[in-house]
A and B are shown apart, each in its own frame.
Chain A
Amino acid sequence: MGLRRIAFALVVLGIVVWAVFPFAWAIVTSLKAGSALFTVEAWPSQPSLANYAAIFKEQPFGRNILNSLMAASAVVALSLGLAVLAAYALGRVRFRGRGLLLFVVLGVSMFPQVAVLSGLFELVRWLGLYNRIGSLVLSYLIFTLPFTVWVLTTFMRELPKELEEAAMVDGAGPFVIVTRVFLPLMGPALAATGLLAFIAAWNEFLFALTFTLTDDARTVPVAIALMSGASQYELPWGQIMAASVVVTVPLIGLVLLFQRRIVSGLTAGAVKG
């Protein structure tokens, strides 16, 4: 027994190290300055926040975070709004070709980003969205919508049919049923899918690199990749790591914040006992 527990603990420890080490290393590196970067130590002997100050002073990092925030928020709002409406139709209304439509929605998400990049670029130019955040919102919907639609459709199907019928007898139309009966019950599903969409949009790199040109519209991942030091021969590792830490912390915070909502069962008491 003892041996098994020790083995289990070792496996858990291995997984934790494997998952946490890169991030811990980033934190450590971000606190170092100058040549201290190249010494290996578990905790910097002279920790300094200079790198954190520098990313906001030497780089337009505040602007980049704002851009990311706007793009990701808009993506979450749009994809949840569209997906809830689509999920009602796909999950609740019987019509010919429903299965095919669901499959097509899923199929769209199977294309590699690169495959749609050039076509999307033309579309973005034609819409006049080049180097604007709108181009990112538009392109991110390509990969957030399929899974939000799928998850919410599945969730919507699970909601008891009698609820919808009771609302119909009460005089509710489809829009009222979706917004006033179903939506309040979908909290956990909305939190989970919204969070995933937010993370996907927050971390996206390829579209952001292609569709933006200047710091006015540039988002965090691209900004970090393009960070430059005083000369072209210097990579500001400390600042890059500080920037990485700064943009990861909000995500962890969001996950912790919504964790409870994701788990809770809101439909308790809807039907039977």
Chain B
Amino acid sequence: MATLEIRDLHVSVEADNGSREILKGVDLTVKQGETHAIMGPNGSGKSTLAYSLAGHPKYQITSGQVTLDGEDVLEMSVDERARAGLFLAMQYPVEIPGVSVSNFLRTSATATRGEAPKLRTWVKEVRETMERLHMDPAFAERNVNEGFSGGEKKRHEILQLELLKPKIAVLDETDSGLDVDALRVVSEGVNRVRESGEVGTLLITHYTRILRYIKPDHVHVFANGRIAESGGPELADKLEAEGYEAYTKDGATQ
């Protein structure tokens, strides 16, 4: 069973006035089949955690450990992490001029699966997945993220999640900027992947709204660069009622 283990992770970024520590000792274990919601105020370091796991060069790991099934993730390059089964649905997906969605999807599927998917089944697979995400087939011929609306970008991220079938999926504020209809469609996509039981999901969000559609097994409150409190789904209800104030008051704000 795939397991992502994060141990005492410290991460810094270079700022104008030197290096600044954003993550201050994160401990978390995500197992295949589980869904963990990470909730927290702006600036608490949630996205830093997501990008650090994926290996974005901007973030420097100063200490700590991340392993996937015992293998050292921090030693892997960005593409190796993806091929090992780590997936990051990005908050701000990047435009890639000149590369069509269909070409991009096939290239990434080939890379992560280790062989080119059979053309006939692949075309069908993409088409059906796009239909379920209410995406127009013409979408496949557009350039990656170029001129996409906010909702289209997020659907495209979830399309990749469904096609690449990672072991661990990190969803970085996939819900932000979506209207209720789009949120429902995107959540259904995430739930289809979860129902396979083969993915561990780390759902990073600012709002409790998405948790009405995607039910987490565990909820963690993130504040000041670490997990301040962990609990079951009832913790989300508490946050819904009380907000993050309790976690930001005692000197936790930056």
A binds B: no
Binding site for A on B (CB under 8 A): none
